[in-house]
Structure 1
Amino acid sequence: MLKNIDPIITPDLLYTLASMGHGDDLVICDTNFPARSVAQLTMVKTPLELPGISAARAVRAILSVMPLDTFVDHPAQRMEVVGQPDEIPEVQREVQAEIDRAEGRSWPMGSIERFAFYEAAKKSFAVVRAGEGRFYGCFLLKMGVIAPK
């Protein structure tokens, strides 16, 4: 057990987050996302599982140790609802609240069309499959930097 590390962050997830560099993308996905087939194309090669954990709770834990990239407009992006790209489902509102809480300000997510999201996910560093059962609980988070003191 480590101090000040959210207990839902598994050893494999902690190692993955520590291994990522500036600009690397991390997928947080729901249970319907093709996590295994997409993850095979990433650096980690297998999905990191957080069963029983909502997407928002997973994002809260991850952002407790991972900085978002301040060099891009949308370091957090959501999968768009098919045919309704401006619709924001509850799961996405919950994740947005966690991003804003972690950053101490409002920082709206960008959005990506479903199939473009799959393609972007294939280029990510890793896939984290939360236990999120609601549709459109899929997100990309871009790793930022921590400035020297």
Structure 2
Amino acid sequence: MLKGISSLISPDLIKVLMEMGHSDEIVFADANFPAASHAQRLVRCDGHGIAELLEAILPLFPLDVYVDRPVTLMAVTPGDGVKTPIWDRYRKIVEGYHSGADAFEEMERFAFYERAKQAYAIVSTGERALYANIILKKGVVI
């Protein structure tokens, strides 16, 4: 345990966050995401939701201010009637740590999978919300 660091952040997760450099990407994947088959580095955070993990890491993790959209969401497949209220929660959390214009973009499901394969790491969570997957692009510490 360390002072000032959420107990949700495991030793493996803090190591990955520390190793990442400017413009590296990390995926926070919901429970349905094929994380193990897509990850270069896999971090398990079973039992935790993505929103609570975002609240824990964003005080420590700078988002990239040199790109228009440092946060990417998996877009809802056309014709799928799924609602995404978790996105509103993500936006509220991110706005607390990232200033500027809307930081979010949406990416088609299979394009998201391909991008996730290139990410520095994938964090596999217990998140049950559908289309809850999110990619964060790391910025610099000033």
Gaps of 5+ in 1: none
TM-score by structure 2 length? 0.92
Whole-Å separation in 2 of the counterparts to 1:22 and 1:84: 36
Q: Tell me: CA distance 1:83–1:109, structure 2 relative to 1, closer, same or farther (3 Å).
A: same
Q: Which runs of structure 2 are paired with 1:93-104 in the superposition (5 Å)?
A: 93-103=88-98
Q: Distance in 1 between matches of 2:79 and 2:57?
A: 28
Matching residue of 1:141: 136
The offset of 1:100, in angstroms, is 0.9
TM-score (ref. length: structure 1)? 0.88
RMSD: 1.8
Kindly state the Cα deviation for residue 26 of structure 1 after the two structures are TM-superposed.
Answer: 0.2
**Could you tell me whether the CA contact under 8 Å between 1:82 and 1:113 is conserved in 2?**
yes
Aligned to 2:17: 17
1:84, distance to aligned residue in structure 2 (A): 5.8
Q: How does 1:1-149 map to 2 (within 5 A)?
A: 1-39=1-39, 42=40, 44=41, 47-83=42-78, 89-103=84-98, 107-147=102-142
Equivalent residue pairs, number: 141
Counterpart of 2:132 in structure 1: which amino acid? G
Query: 1:58 is matched by which residue type in structure 2?
Result: L
Percent of aligned pairs sharing the same letter? 37
Structure 1: 4+ residue segments shifted above 4 A = none
